[in-house]
Amino acid sequence: MPELVVLLDEEGEAVGTADKALVHHARTPLHLAFSCYLLDPEGNVLLTQRALGKRTFPGVWTNSCCGHPAPGERLDDAVRRRVEQELGVVATDVRLVLPGFRYRAEQAGIVENEMCPVHVAVVEGPLSVDPAEVEQVRWEPWRDFRESVLTSGRQVSPWCREQVEQLPADLAGAATASAQRLPPAAR
């Protein structure tokens, strides 16, 4: 059964679904996604290098986990599901921090075009990485990572760069945003 993504209009209302395997191309329609930054108990952030076989942005370093909620799936449930599938660990304290994040990026003729609310969560324990999703992982202090992106031009995915510009210096203490600020399709 194909993995479906939720297609959106410009106001964030659901207008249908499409097969994820077929939706990313040169004219990718706007669709619903999410990003998550995972923190360990010491406040380090988990960075992931996207698997080399990924259709979009292969081999690029980025935030901890990205994905698409299934039609009708709550975003926090989708975050937990994808974190467990990709990284083999349970995400706790999942919090919405950038409900209105949206971006469009292109690489090698493939476009990402997403309303992509951003979450922060906590994980503990050893990772069990899915090699089809993640090439490698690295833990870094959030403040050091953020500073390297903002001031040193560190190479990360386009969405990660835009998110880091909007996220606070104290990611663990970031305020939880209201779900009312999510795109309507995600409420």
pLDDT at 153: 85
124 is in an annotated binding site: no
In terms of residues, how long is the chain?
187
Active site (catalytic) residues: 66, 114
69, 156, 56, 178: which is closest to 112 by C-alpha? 56
Residue 174 belongs to a domain: no
Number of domains in the chain: 1
Residue 40 belongs to a domain: yes
Beta strands in the chain (DSSP E): 4-8, 14-19, 31-32, 34-39, 44-50, 61-62, 65-67, 92-98, 102-107, 110-115, 118-122, 134-141
Each residue's pLDDT tens digit, 12-56: 999 999 999 999 899 999 999 999 999 999 999 999 999 999 989
Query: Could you give the residue ranges of the DSSP H alpha helices within the chain?
Result: 20-23, 75-87, 142-152, 158-166
CATH of the domain at 128: 3.90.79.10
10 is in an annotated binding site: no
Residue 171 belongs to a domain: no
Each residue's pLDDT tens digit, 166-177: 999 999 999 999
Residue 100 belongs to a domain: yes
Q: Would you state the structure tokens that stand for residue 158, as one six-digit string?
A: 């386009």
119 is in an annotated binding site: no
Across 109-121, average pLDDT: 97
Cβ atoms of residues 129 and 87 within 8 Å: yes
Residue 186 belongs to a domain: no
Show Cβ contacts of residue 17 under 8 Å, excluding neighbours closer than 6 positions.
4, 5, 6, 7, 71
Across 93-110, average pLDDT: 96
Residue 20 belongs to a domain: yes
What is the span of the domain harbouring residue 114?
4-166
Residue 38 belongs to a domain: yes
Residue 177 belongs to a domain: no
162 is in an annotated binding site: no
3 is in an annotated binding site: no
Looking up tokens 């706790």, which residue turns up? Answer: 92
